[in-house]
Amino acid sequence: SSGINAECPLRPGVGLGTWQSKKGEVGAAVEHALRNGYRHIDCAMVYQNEEEIGETFKKVFSEGVVKREDVFITSKLWNTYKRAEDVPKACAKTLKDLQLDYLDLYLIHWPVMFKPGENLFPTDADGKFIYDEQNPSFKETWNALEKLVDEGKVKNIGLSNFNKDQIAEVLEFARVKPASLQVESHPQLPNLELLDICKKNDIAFVAYSPLGNPGSVFRRPEQKNLLEDDDVKKIAAKHKKSAGQILIRYQVDKGNVVIPKSVTPSRIDENLDVFGFSLDETDMGVLNNLYKKIGPKGFRTCAVAHWGTHPNYPFKDEL
């Protein structure tokens, strides 16, 4: 399998995202996806639904619906587990919850560090986040991730929500190179500069929130719905596809991996049905420049500005 990164078989294409997929729904969504052609499932400890997904993995693998080695499974190291001694504990919990022997990819979910402990969102009496006073370096965390690769617990390691300077810092000392960068990307926030950095460094670019996150708790009231955008709708009519399919194909045509989230079977199928057509240069030009309708930086849905005081907050120039 010649992936984007020679060692990492993460091909341009569509995976299933599980962020904001509720307990009681997520297991059925993952099962439907795996029975209907999906071969990449994106998980994370902080989504607090890995146990239910694990039940589904156990079921579909034991029934022979699909083989474990044919599915690419990602999870993510949460902000409370950044110290060297805590990294293996987090990975062990995720593997146990997902009922797996190994992960295909393990990402550092965010560059910020929270106070270690059972509470995933440690806050003080005023509701402010409590950061890790040790503030472990990226190198400390990354070295611990490299050990997990050495031990066969994870096949690849990568980054999520890191900015260009933070990626450059990791590349300086990484013995095992980051296989992947997962960031928000859609025509309101194309993240073209990061895509360029990924191409230069042979890092697979994985786009989350490809539809601009229409159902997200993080949406801001003034945010325009991408699915209702006139330019997107025109391109959809031209190709006889839905607006959502255009936004997903936009990522595929850039050579990206894209992980739309849904728990609705018909939508899960529609999101994967983007391979019978491709967008032309005119379409791509319109979509690449659509952010300019909003402003010079476009629009980030998942800005987590409530962590803005952390020294490693990645989007400082947008605050």
Neighbours of 196 (CB within 10 A): 12
Strand partners, 74: 42, 105
Catalytic residue among 47, 131, 208, 313: 47
Beta bridge partners of 72: 40
Question: If you count DSSP H runs as helices and E runs as strands, how many of each does the chain have, helices first?
Answer: 10, 9
Nearest of 86, 88, 91 to residue 76 by alpha carbon = 91
Which two structure tokens, joined as six digits, stand for 75?
A: 């999870």
The answer to whether residues 178 and 204 touch, using CB atoms and an 8 Å cutoff, is: no
Residue 102 is a catalytic residue: no
Distance CA 114, CA 260 (A): 28
- In what helix (H) or strand (E) does residue 148 lie, and over which residues does it extend? helix 138-150
Kindly provide the residue ranges of all beta strands, DSSP E only, lying in the chain, ordered along the sequence.
13-14, 16-17, 40-42, 72-77, 105-108, 157-160, 180-184, 204-208, 257-258
Instruction: State the catalytic residues.
Output: 47
